[in-house]
Amino acid sequence: MPRRIPFLHPGEELPPSSEALEYPNGLLAGGGDLTPERLLAAYRRGIFPWYEEPQPVLWWTPNPRSVLLPDELHVSRSLRKVLRRDRFALGVDTAFARVMADCAGPRPDSDGTWIGREMLRAYIELHHQGFAHSVEVFDPAGELVGGLYGVALGGVFFGESMFSRSRDASKVALVALVNIVSRGGFGLIDCQVGNPHLASMGARDIDRLDFEARLAQTIAIETDPGIWSLPGTCGDLL
């Protein structure tokens, strides 16, 4: 008989990650809420919400876990050429809600989106509190054509989603993110679940226990909130 996950009541803590299901991979619990307190407590344990409204909130900790170590970023020769040409302008935390909304937009491989109104409200609140950040990529006309967002805690950036409406725009956003976190002494970028796009830029899968050990080592690192800025041109990222 399939094992059931617990359904959380208000104020109830998430169970240990060892209780996560193997299938669906990493599903740990349902219910609860998306208050800043619960979200931050979950991230500190490497747990994140992922669900489609009107489902209840679902909490995940997949095994293996996709991560990118900042010093392992791979920038291809073709992407270096894109950066040197300065086709794009960059921003940090200038359009957080717009980045989230574009990440929530329809995709060719999915009919729905897991970034609903509750998620938007919750992460915009984290942004207002200084925990959630976005990187924006603009074309020469000033249109937002790519970006990413996530949560920064200690020396860890928990990547949530990215989007691209122009070739290489999301890759440029990731290079920009690594520029920021490297200056800040971050030790880990959590990519949650791997894909070929992330793997091509240096992300790799590690065992959940390894991830949790790395998380424990880096989550307490004190970082300078002033790192959330970028050079004036893409070429300066190299």
Q: Checking DSSP bridges between strand 27-31 and strand 7-8, what pairing results, if any?
A: parallel
What's the confidence (pLDDT) of residue 202? 98
Is pLDDT above 80 for 201? yes
pLDDT category at 2 given cuts 50, 70, 90 is low
What's the confidence (pLDDT) of residue 225? 87
Average pLDDT over residues 107-134: 85
The answer to whether the beta carbons of residues 161 and 123 sit under 8 Å apart is no
Top-tier CATH class for 7-63: alpha beta
What's the confidence (pLDDT) of residue 17? 97
Of 101-110, 156-165, 185-194, which range is least confident? 101-110
What's the confidence (pLDDT) of residue 11? 85
Is pLDDT above 60 for 112? no
Determine the Cα–Cα distance for residues 66 and 92; give it in Å rounded to an integer: 24
Terminal Cα distance for the chain, rounded = 53
Average pLDDT over residues 62-90: 97
Tell me the pLDDT tens digit for each residue of 81-94: 999 999 999 999 99
Is pLDDT above 90 for 124? yes
pTM of the model: 0.95
What's the confidence (pLDDT) of residue 54? 87
- CATH architecture of the domain covering 66-237: 3-Layer(aba) Sandwich (3.40)
Query: How confident is the prediction for the chain on average, in pLDDT?
Result: 94
The answer to whether the beta carbons of residues 82 and 168 sit under 8 Å apart is yes
pLDDT category at 237 given cuts 50, 70, 90 is very high
What's the confidence (pLDDT) of residue 113? 65
Region(s) of the chain under CATH 3.40.630.70: 66-237
Average pLDDT over residues 181-199: 96
Region(s) of the chain under CATH 3.30.70.3550: 7-63
Residue where the block lists tokens 């091509």: 200
What's the confidence (pLDDT) of residue 107? 62
The answer to whether the beta carbons of residues 180 and 224 sit under 8 Å apart is no
Average pLDDT over residues 3-28: 94
Is pLDDT above 90 for 154? yes
pLDDT category at 10 given cuts 50, 70, 90 is confident
Cα radius of gyration (the chain): 17
